[in-house]
Every structure is written in structure tokens, then in C-alpha cells.
């Protein structure tokens, strides 16, 4: 009789403990749920190197990202994750659960922001773009002017050493990356994209630096992509004949500020980039060209064209002689 009673008491005790654990577990899960079920603007949180669990928890609590600081700390300690939080910038939201937040912090899923470089962007335009993201434009320009790129040596007369080599692409930039780190990301992308063209570059009579310079000229002149190889042919034809390139884009690059319309007096600006005054290629690229323009520089059309003029909707009419060129111009008036 006594044994049956003991078994009965034990069964009730186990049931009570089960119910209590169930209640505790359910309540604990609620404390780890998102603060809000609605999508709210992301918060960028910086976790400094060496931050304690207490400091991290306080940061999250102050930003309203977790329901209960104690539950968050207990969860990480039970899972053995309290010392595994990684330093960095994180994009978090109050519609994330504490478990999801902990997972990001432990796996080091650092936050990034998007920066898009359009084809043909110049170093100075890129400086303005980065300044909008809170970066230091002057430091960026200083680095772009003086930083060496290990693929080649740049002429001393160039405006910016890195003009032409910050590859136009959409980048995911880690929060906290400084100006030099961003430059390195873009240079690495240039190397990666040009690597596939190594064989063609080696076959060319022009160096990689000259090819990118020519590609930048094509980028500035070709408003319609399918005309790029034809414009490339004009550039090479004039170079082979010892003719000045006489490209308006090089004059624009020479001026302190871009003009909507060049004057004849602008064509006389004293600059090594001015291809109306100087023979051959300018000292370096005048923008950062896209991959299609680099390919056009490597694979120009075979033509006898020496001149072109914009006729309609960005398209050009190409001619073989100066007389033909003048006739086209007269027809546009």
C-alpha cells in the first residue's frame, strides 16, 4: 500500500515538474521573440573588439532590439556562445528574434551597404559619391592621387594614379571600411575582371595602362555601346597616322569643372590631357571604364575612319576624310 502511494506521489511530482518546465520554456521563448512583428528600419550596431556580453546586451536593449536582457544573456550562456560574439558592424531590426540576433553576432554576419559605380565615373565624381556616405573625400582623393597599383608604374604627370582602375560595379561595402579599404576592394575587382583578358592584353602592342587609357576615351565618347569598337578604330587609326586625337572628352577632363558645351578657347587649355594640343594618348585614363569598353579597346573594328560627329540620339556618323567630315557638319546646321 505504501509503495503504491509513493509511486502515485512520484507520478504527480513528475507531472508537476513537466508542467512547470513547459510553462518556463514557453515563457522563456516569449522573452526571446521579436520586440515587434512589423518591419521597422534597420539599426546599425557596432560591436567593438573585446566587448563583454553585458556591454553587448546593453547596446541591444538601449536600441530596443531585444525584449528581455536577462533572457538574452541566459540563452547565450546556456548555448555556450557568451564569449563567441564577433566584433564588427551589424544590421539588426526589432522584428528579429533574440535568437536570430545572437546567430548574426556569433557568425560575424557583418552589415554592408551598397555603392554603385556607373561606367565612366571619374575619381572626383567617386569622391563626391563616397562623401554622401560620410567618408572623407579629401583623403580619398589624396589616396587616389598617390597610391601605387602593383600592376604597373604610373607616369608622374597623371592627375590621379588610380584613375581608370577603380572598376565600375555595384559593391557591398562593409560598414566601418575606410577610404583605403574601399579603394582596395575596387582595385581587387579590377584585377579579377581583367584577369580573363590577360591573353588578349599580352598580344596587344599596347601596355595594359595604355589599353585602359584608350578604353576610358572610348567610354567618354561612345554614347551607344555598339559604336564602341568603331570609335576604337578611329582612335587607333589616328594614332597610327600620327594625328592628334582631338577628343572633346580629354578637354573636359583638363578643365577645373565640366562644361555643358565647350568653347573654342577651351580647346587651347594648357594640359597634357588636352589631345587638341598634344599628340598621342593623354598621360593616363580620364575615367573608370567598364569591361565592354576595355574589350572594345582590345578588339577594334577594322575601318578607315578618321573622324566622327554626333548626328542624332547619341549616334555618330563616321567619315574617312576631313572633307567628308565637314560636309556632315554642314548638313547638321
Q: How confident is the model at residue 246 (pLDDT cuts 50, 70, 90)?
A: very high
Count of residues for the chain? 333
CB 252 within 8 A of CB 262: yes
Minimum mean pLDDT range among 179-193, 207-221, 274-288, 313-327 = 313-327
Is pLDDT of 128 > 70? yes
What does DSSP assign to residue 122? -
The tens digit of pLDDT for each residue in 65-82 reads 988 888 888 888 888 988
CB 34 within 8 A of CB 95: yes
Mean pLDDT to the nearest integer, 255-259: 89
Is pLDDT of 52 > 70? yes
Radius of gyration of the chain (CA): 31
Provide the mean pLDDT of the chain. Answer: 88
CATH number listed for the domain at residues 30-107: 3.30.1490.480
41/16: higher pLDDT: 41
- Pairing mode, if any, of strands 112-116 and 170-174? antiparallel
The residue ranges of every structural domain in the chain are: 30-107, 113-195, 206-332
φ/ψ of residue 45, rounded to 5? -110, 130
**Separation of alpha carbons 123 and 288, rounded Å:** 8
Mean pLDDT to the nearest integer, 93-100: 89
Q: Nearest 10 degrees: CA dihedral of 189, 194, 198, 202? A: -120
Amino acid at each position: 500500500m505504501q509503495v503504491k502511494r509513493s509511486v502515485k506521489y512520484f507520478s504527480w511530482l513528475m507531472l508537476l515538474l513537466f508542467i512547470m518546465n513547459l510553462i518556463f520554456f514557453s515563457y522563456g521563448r516569449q522573452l526571446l521573440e521579436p520586440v515587434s512583428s512589423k518591419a521597422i528600419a534597420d539599426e546599425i550596431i557596432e560591436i567593438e573588439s573585446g566587448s563583454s556580453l553585458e556591454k553587448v546586451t546593453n547596446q541591444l536593449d538601449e536600441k530596443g532590439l531585444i525584449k528581455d536582457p536577462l533572457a538574452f544573456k541566459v540563452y547565450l550562456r546556456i548555448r555556450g556562445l557568451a564569449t563567441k560574439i564577433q566584433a564588427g558592424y551589424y544590421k539588426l531590426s526589432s522584428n528579429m528574434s533574440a535568437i536570430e540576433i545572437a546567430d548574426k553576432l556569433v557568425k560575424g554576419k557583418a552589415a554592408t551597404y551598397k555603392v554603385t559605380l556607373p561606367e565612366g565615373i571619374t575619381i572626383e565624381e567617386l569622391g563626391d559619391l563616397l562623401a554622401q556616405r560620410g567618408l572623407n573625400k579629401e583623403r580619398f582623393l589624396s589616396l587616389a592621387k598617390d597610391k601605387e597599383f602593383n600592376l604597373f608604374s604610373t607616369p608622374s604627370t597623371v592627375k590621379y594614379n588610380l584613375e581608370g582602375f577603380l572598376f565600375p560595379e555595384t559593391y557591398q561595402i562593409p560598414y566601418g571600411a575606410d577610404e583605403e579599404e574601399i579603394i582596395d576592394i575596387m582595385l581587387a575587382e579590377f584585377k579579377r575582371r581583367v584577369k580573363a583578358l590577360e591573353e588578349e592584353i599580352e598580344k596587344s602592342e599596347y601596355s595594359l595602362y595604355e589599353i585602359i587609357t584608350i578604353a576610358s576615351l572610348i567610354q567618354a565618347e561612345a554614347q551607344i555601346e555598339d559604336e564602341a569598337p568603331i570609335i576604337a578604330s578611329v582612335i587607333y587609326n589616328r594614332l597610327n597616322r600620327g594625328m592628334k586625337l582631338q577628343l572633346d572628352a580629354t578637354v573636359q577632363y583638363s578643365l577645373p569643372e565640366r562644361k555643358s558645351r565647350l568653347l573654342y578657347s577651351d580647346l587651347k587649355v594648357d594640359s597634357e590631357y588636352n589631345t587638341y594640343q598634344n599628340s598621342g594618348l593623354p598621360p593616363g585614363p580620364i575615367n573608370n571604364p567598364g569591361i565592354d569598353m576595355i574589350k572594345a579597346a582590345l578588339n577594334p573594328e577594322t575601318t578607315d575612319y578618321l573622324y566622327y560627329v554626333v548626328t542624332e540620339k547619341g549616334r555618330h556618323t563616321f567619315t574617312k576624310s576631313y572633307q567628308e567630315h565637314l560636309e556632315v557638319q554642314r548638313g547638321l546646321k
